[in-house]
Structures are given as structure tokens and as C-alpha cells.
Amino acid sequence: MLAYLIKRLATIVPTLLFVSMLIFGLQQLLPGDPAQVLAGEDQDPTVIAYLHAKLHLDRPLPVRYAYWVGGVFTGDLGESVRSQQPVTRLVAEKLPVTFELACLAMTIALAIGIPAGIVSAVGRGSWWDYAANVFALWGLSTPNFWLGILMILLFSVELGWLPASGYVSPFVDLRANLAAMIMPAFVLGNAIAAVLMRHTRSAMLQVLSADYVRTARAKGLSEPVVVLKHGLRNALTPIITLGALEFGTLLSGAVLTEQVFTIPGFGKLIVDSVFNRDYSVVQGVVLVTATSYIVLNLLADLASFVVNPRLRR
Amino acid sequence: MTFARLLRNAAVLACLLPLLAHAETTLRVGLAEDPDVLDPSLARSFVGRIVFAALCDKLVDIDEQLHIVPQLATSWEWSADGKTLTMKLRSGVVFHDGEKFDAAAVKYNIERHKTLPGSSRRGELAPVASVDAVDATTVRFNLSQPFSPLLAQLADRAGMMVSPKAAQAAGDQFGSKPVCSGPYKFVERIAQDRMVLERFPQYWNKDAARFDKVVYLPITDATVRLANLRSGQLDFIERVSPSDIKKIEAEKKFKVARITEIGYQGVTINIAKSDLAQKNPLGRDERVREAFELALDRQGLAQVVAEGEATPGNQWVSPSNFYYDQDIPIPKRDIAKARALLKEAGVVDPTFTLMAPTTSEGQKLAQVIQAMEREAGFDVKIQSTEFATSLTLANQGRFEAYVLGWSGRADPDGNLYSFYGCKQPLNDHGTCHPEVDKLLDQSRALRDPVERKKVYAQIAAIVLKERGIVYLYHRNWLWAYNPKLTGVRQLPDGLFRISGVSMAP
């Protein structure tokens, strides 16, 4: 286990280095001059020249990369040229928001997806199964922004139960925070629940038809024990991997959902920064996201280790 | 109800009243974008000016008719040669940090605008050679050449005054905690989420600041912005989508404001910006460009693209503006004449590429132009281009024609000089006429509007005939707000000024 962990940790460094080159390099492929965008509609040449120098755009590519990576190693992700705020501060501001949203969405997804998957696998062919499948199809095929706007129209405009926007930190006012987060968390969780349900269902179906499950039943074990202990535990491995991947995607920012509900998270930040060609912000945010993705993958592998003893050999 | 109970209720109510009277009042404003840095010297976005309107007072302001009116300066006078402007300043004004506003502060601010690295105000104040603090309340601008648009510049960001002490202490980080002298002072800003201001109790015009707090929330999606207004999360939203405005009006739940912009929407044609121009009949031949314009139905464009929320126009100012040249009216659509012109020019099946922004309005505009031009025989190819890319392509002359709007400036010079002067940054059509340059400088030296208008007529006669920019229409700024809000002023620059606005109980 320890050797495995060390091996996995060692691969993180080259992966991140490669990712940093990719982030930097791909960004350079974006057409358009960032200084021109940032200079505003007046396009004052002295301002453009100043921004070129400030962004090191007058230096060769490797030098610019070195500037950036050098900063990253000292914990300095640079500064947003548009708002003049340090990128580390922007990340520190947005990461907790996105993290909370991701956790809430994941909780909703797990709470709906896994039970629905189990029920539909156990009662295969029953109307429970059909209902769960219809739900999954609905979740997969409903665009997030559309569902989001409909929910705002229903719960905020018509019924007035929930605020349409207005993120509040949970440390300031937990109630207001949850009121603002529940709709976006549901919209995101709903889509993921559908994916989880489909995967849980097929994994469970496979496991439930295995010999050891038949043996368990033959031993006279109760159905819940058969399904949950012998079935679910063995079916969990692919679900954990999938859940971790989905969680990583959530951390990279739910762009449309954040736009619709005006949640100040990573998604909004990154999209605005790409359009404004605010390079240092894009680079910083993508680097943080990539890092969390890698870490999550590692955690998922460790979790599989824990639930599946066969892997420990 | 017994008398005792009535009395008790009355007593409770009497105790509560002062509490009610002191309930905190907050105004929540939905913005269409997140502003850039909140430093008047460095700021470059339109939306930032809306926040500045509450935060930073200017030397002068504009009124509904675009006249210059006092703000921090109470009166002003030009010298006979137009090379010095002397301003009398309001006394008793303090900045948000308690520092006094005086002539020395004005001098500091103008010098900061002119010297701060990356300042966007440098160009606007270029003709200002120096500033003298004559006495505490008198300041003199010494110009290198007469420059009548200076007052209009001072009615915008170049005239915004920040606390010299705070600016010196903060250096280039001033924008993260701006200290000005407006009716509301800065509290906090969370990027892409909110900007919070609070009432400045020492503001010189106490009646103007009626809210305890003002919160600006950038919400980019127009539908979501409107949903937030409807659900009561916001009291005011700017840039309502034209497709929503009639519905809101019909419902009568919210008040609506529509203001003709001082900017415009137009098509810029590459005439001499690069070699590409000469390879295309549109850039090569004036008659082809005239045919292009004759094929346009501006009323139709305004109706279809802006859903009627626009005024057709053919000049850099709208037809209702004083500087609009009545001798050059909007040409009527004339397909037969357009075809005749193309024939005369010997052009068969002219084709060109129209670069258009990826916004829904930009796309719609390009498609309607394409359809209208087809009737005259033009084959227009639409090239949808993301904003940043289009700026670079336009600047390098790698385009044949492109759709571009301009937010407009109070003085017509701001809609003109940078677009038609030789080698000016926004001269993307690339034409250069020494006589236009001369006339542009001449117009800047004149202060009498009637005289200036005559010079503009001469410029119009040259550039509108050449058609480097074909002006199409002037959009309406559309606002929707809580009907309890009173004192909302509709200024043509499209900036919502909170000063003087209050909420009826």
C-alpha cells in the first residue's frame, strides 16, 4: 500500500509539469492580442504598449513560461490584469464556493443515484426499474441552464421561496447560503445522479448474477445483506471511480449553472477570463483545477483499495 | 378591541417606529458585466463607469441634453485664445478618507492621469500641458493647443478626482480600494460577485445619497438579470434585452427607461488599411460602397435586429443630436440605383466577407445585412469572430468589412477624431486625408457649437461620401427598475447615476 502510494505520488510531479506546459502552450494558441482586449474600446496605443510590457508579451515564449512557472513555485500565480487582483486571492475566494457547490451536488447525486440504481437492478423489469430509467433519461437529457432558469422562474419568481441569486458565505449565514445553493446543487446533482444510477444499475446487475451472490442467498442470508454487503460492495469500484471523475468535473466549475444562478465560483471566473484574455487568471485556475483532479483520482484509487481487498495484494 | 389593548398596541407601534425609520436601506443594481479595475486612471470598461458614477465625483458632469454642468467645479472660464481653462472649485468637499478636496488635489489627479503607467486617460488629456493651483479653490489648465472637448473629457473618467493621500499610499493597487469623493464610498469587492458601497455621510450634497448601502451585482445573462428583478433580488437592472422590454412594459410591474445612445452600430469597410482592400470591389470602388449603402434598409435593420429599440441613423451622432447634419439625411433604400451603380462600376456578382461578433445581436445584424444586400446582387459571406480575435484582425487590416459598435462620447469629437484622423488607433478603414486631419484639429480649437457644426459638416461631406464607416442605427439603453425608485435620471451616456435616487416607502 505504501509503496503504491509513493509510486502514485511520484507520478504527480511530471504530470503537473506536463499539464502546466499544456495550459501555457494552449493559451498561446488563442487568437487575438490580450493587450488589445484589455485596452478597452479606445485602443490607446500607449496603453497597449504598456500592457505588452507588463504581460511580458514582448518576450519569447520560453521566457514567459519561465516567468510563470517561477512564480508558481514561489506561490505567486500572478495578477489579473483586468481587475488587478492577485490570482491566488481570486482562487482562494472562488475555490471554497465551487467546493461547497460540488459537495452539495455530489451529495444529492449520491443520495439519488445509488439507491435508484440498486432499486432498479434488484427489481429489474419492474415498474420501479422503468421509473428509475425514465428519471435517468430525463436527468441526462435536460440541459442544466434550461432546468436552472425554469427552477428560478418557479421557485424564485412565482413562488418566492428561494432567492434567484445572491451567494452568501456559509460562515456568515448558513440558512441564506443553503437557500442560494440548493437550486444550483440540485441542477448539477440531478444530471450526475442519472449517470451514477445507470452505472450502479449495470454494475449491480453484473454482480447480482455472480456465483458468490447465489451462494450467499443459498446460505439463507437475508436479501438486504445479500444486496448491500455482497452485491453493492463489489459493485462500488467503478462507481467510486466515476464519482471521483464527476466530482473533479464539478470542481473545474459548472460554467452554465454558475452563470444562471450567479454563483461566484471557478466556472464564471474562467469563462470571463478567457474572453477577456486575462492569461494569468486562466492559467492559475486551470492549474489548481488540474491539481485537484489529479489528487481526486489518487483518492479514488485509494478508496477502491479500501473497499476491494483483492487490489491490496 | 378594548381601549386598553388599543393603547398597548399604539405604545408598541410607537416604540417600533423609530426602528422602522432606521431600517437599513439597500439599493441592489444588476450590471451586465463585471467591471475592470476601479481606478479612474486605469479603468477601461463601460460598465465600470456605472459604479464610478456613485463612487467618484467628477469636476463636471453632463445633463440630459449633453450640456456640461457643475459637479466638483462650480464654474469655469476659457481664455480668449482657448489655451487656458480656469475652474472655480466647490469648497467644503472632502474625500472618503477625510482629506480635503482642493486645487492641489486637482493638480495631483490630472498629473496622475497623465503619468501613471498604463493610464488610459493620458490620450484624453494629451493637450493639457500643465495644471496650476492658483489658490485653494481655483485651478488652471494650461493647454498646448486649444482643445474644446476638454470639458467633456473632464465630465468622464479624466475628471474623476481621487484622494491624493490614498492614491500615493496605494500606488498601482489603488483600484482594489478606491478612495474618491462621490456620494457613496467603497466597502468591498468580490470579483464576479459584488461591489458594495455605503453612504458617505460627509458628502457635499447630502440629499443626493439616500441609501445606506448600494450593491452592484454583475449578472451577465439578460434573462437571469430580469428573473432576479422579478423575484425581488434586484431593484434595478441595466441593458434589458429588447425582446423582453415590451413584455415588462405591458405587465406594468416595473418602470422602464429607454434612452437613445450617444454611440452607434455600424459597418467598417477596409478601404486602405491593408492590401486586402484593393483586392475587393467594396474597398476599391466608391460606387460599390454606395451601392452597398443603398441596399440597406436602416428602419428594417432597427426593427428586426434591435426589435424596434433603436433609432436609424447615418452619422456618428443620432438624428436628434445638435451636431447631426440635416443636409445629409438617411438615404432611402434604392435597389435599382444600387444595381445601376454596380453596373456602372463594371462589377459583376460582387462578393465580400463581413466579420461579425459572436453575440446574438452581431449575428442577427450580419444576417439581415446579408439578406438585404443579396437583393442588390451582393454575395455577403459572414465570418463570425470572437471579440478578441476581431480586434486583432481589424487592427491588422485582415478584414473586408466588419460590424462594430461604439459606446459613444458626450462630445462629438469622441465619436470622430480617433476614427478618421490619419494613423489614429480606431481608424480601421485606413483612409487618410490631410484636409480631414486639418478640419478635425480646427473643430477642436472652436468653442462655439454653431461654428463647430459647420466644420463637422465639411468633414461629413468627405467621410460620409467615402463610407469608411457606414452608420446603421443608435440603440436604446434599456433599463427596468422597481416602481418605488424615484429620481432615476435618463442620461444619454447610458450610465445609471444613483446620486439623487431614492426608494419610496
Given an 8 Å threshold on Cβ–Cβ distance, is A165 in contact with B219?
yes
Q: Percent of chain B having pLDDT more than 70?
A: 95
- DSSP classification of residue B173: G
Whether the CB of B260 is below 8 Å from some CB of chain A: the reply is: no
Contact present, B211 and B485 (Cβ < 8 Å): no
Distance from CA of A20 to the nearest CA of B (A): 23
Helices B242-251 and B222-230 pack at an angle, to 10 degrees, of 20
pLDDT of residue A208: 80
Given an 8 Å threshold on Cβ–Cβ distance, is A259 in contact with B172?
no
Euclidean distance between CA atoms A267 and A155, whole angstroms? 24
pLDDT of residue B467: 95
Q: Please identify among residues 89-148 of chain B the ones whose CB lies closer than 8 Å to any CB of chain A.
A: 117-120, 122-123
Q: DSSP letter string over chain A?
A: -HHHHHHHHHHHHHHHHHHHHHHHHHHHHS-S-HHHHHT-TT--HHHHHHHHHHTTTTS-HHHHHHHHHHHHHTT---B-TTT--BHHHHHHHHHHHHHHHHHHHHHHHHHHHHHHHHHHHHTTTSHHHHHHHHHHHHHHHS-HHHHHHHHIIIIIIIS--S-SS----TTT-HHHHHHHHHHHHHHHHHHHHHHHHHHHHHHHHHHHTSHHHHHHHHTT--HHHIIIIIIIHHHHHHHHHHHHHHHHHHHT--HHHHHHHT--SHHHHHHHHHHTT-HHHHHHHHHHHHHHHHHHHHHHHHHHHHH-GGGG-
Distance from CA of A149 to the nearest CA of B (A): 7
Distance from CA of A256 to the nearest CA of B (A): 10
pLDDT tier at B363, thresholds 50, 70, 90: very high
Query: What chain B residue is nearest to A97 in terms of C-alpha separation?
Result: B193
Given an 8 Å threshold on Cβ–Cβ distance, is B191 in contact with A37?
no
pLDDT tier at B18, thresholds 50, 70, 90: very low
Given an 8 Å threshold on Cβ–Cβ distance, is B44 in contact with A39?
yes
Question: What is the average pLDDT across B253-262?
Answer: 94
- A283 or B374, higher pLDDT: B374
Given an 8 Å threshold on Cβ–Cβ distance, is B221 in contact with A259?
yes
Q: What is the per-residue pLDDT across B70-83, written as a single tens digit (0 to 9) for each?
A: 999 999 999 999 99
Whether the CB of B248 is below 8 Å from some CB of chain A: the reply is: no
Euclidean distance between CA atoms B178 and B276, whole angstroms? 46
Whether the CB of A52 is below 8 Å from some CB of chain B: the reply is: no
Lowest mean pLDDT, pick from A219-228, B192-201, B261-270? A219-228
Contact present, B434 and B230 (Cβ < 8 Å): no
Which residue, among A36, A256, A259, A276, would best test binding to B if mutated, counting the most B CBs under 10 Å from its CB? A36
Give the nearest partner residue to A51 out of B118, B388, B418, using CB atoms. Answer: B118
pLDDT of residue A253: 65
Whether the CB of B175 is below 8 Å from some CB of chain A: the reply is: yes
Cβ contacts from A onto B, under 8 A: 145
Q: Please identify among residues 5-44 of chain B the ones whose CB lies closer than 8 Å to any CB of chain A.
A: 34, 36-37, 39, 42, 44
Per CB-CB distance under 8 Å, the chain B contacts of A259 are: 220-221, 224
Is B12 a residue whose pLDDT tops 60? no
Whether the CB of A45 is below 8 Å from some CB of chain B: the reply is: yes
pTM of the model: 0.86
Give the nearest partner residue to B217 out of A40, A260, A262, using CB atoms. Answer: A262
pLDDT tier at B490, thresholds 50, 70, 90: very high
Is B8 a residue whose pLDDT tops 80? no
Which residue, among A153, A157, A165, A172, would best test binding to B if mutated, counting the most B CBs under 10 Å from its CB? A165
Is B13 a residue whose pLDDT tops 60? no
Which residue, among A57, A84, A89, would best test binding to B if mutated, counting the most B CBs under 10 Å from its CB? A84
**Reduced to 3 states, what is the DSSP secondary structure of residue B6?**
helix
Which residue, among B224, B251, B265, would best test binding to A if mutated, counting the most A CBs under 10 Å from its CB? B224
pLDDT of residue B306: 92
Whether the CB of B425 is below 8 Å from some CB of chain A: the reply is: yes
Whether the CB of A180 is below 8 Å from some CB of chain B: the reply is: no
pLDDT of residue B115: 93
Give the nearest partner residue to B224 out of A47, A94, A262, using CB atoms. Answer: A262
Q: Please identify among residues 440-469 of chain B the ones whose CB lies closer than 8 Å to any CB of chain A.
A: none
- Residue B306's closest CA among B272, B372, B260? B260
Lowest mean pLDDT, pick from A162-176, B40-54, B377-391? A162-176
Per CB-CB distance under 8 Å, the chain B contacts of A43 are: 391, 395, 418, 425-426
pLDDT of residue B204: 94
- A239 or B289, higher pLDDT: B289
pLDDT of residue B156: 94
pLDDT tier at B17, thresholds 50, 70, 90: very low
Whole-complex ipTM: 0.79
Instruction: Count the alpha carbons within 13 Å of B68 in the hemisphere toward its beta carbon.
Output: 24
- A166 or B130, higher pLDDT: B130
Query: What chain A residue is nearest to B47 in terms of C-alpha separation?
Result: A40
Q: What is the per-residue pLDDT across B306-352, written as a single tens digit (0 to 9) for each?
A: 999 999 999 999 999 999 999 999 999 999 999 999 999 999 889 99
Give the nearest partner residue to A260 out of B42, B221, B387, using CB atoms. Answer: B221
∠ CA A254-A257-A262, rounded to 5°: 110
Euclidean distance between CA atoms B494 and B149, whole angstroms? 19
Question: What is the average pLDDT across B36-64?
Answer: 93
∠ CA B222-B226-B228, rounded to 5°: 120
pLDDT of residue B262: 94
Question: Which residues in chain A land under pLDDT 70?
Answer: 1, 253, 311-313
pLDDT of residue B2: 52
Whether the CB of A46 is below 8 Å from some CB of chain B: the reply is: yes
Given an 8 Å threshold on Cβ–Cβ distance, is A50 in contact with B120?
no
Per CB-CB distance under 8 Å, the chain B contacts of A41 are: 44, 46, 406-407
- Provide φ and ψ at B238, rounded to 5°: -100, 165
Given an 8 Å threshold on Cβ–Cβ distance, is A84 in contact with B37?
yes
Given an 8 Å threshold on Cβ–Cβ distance, is B392 in contact with A36?
yes
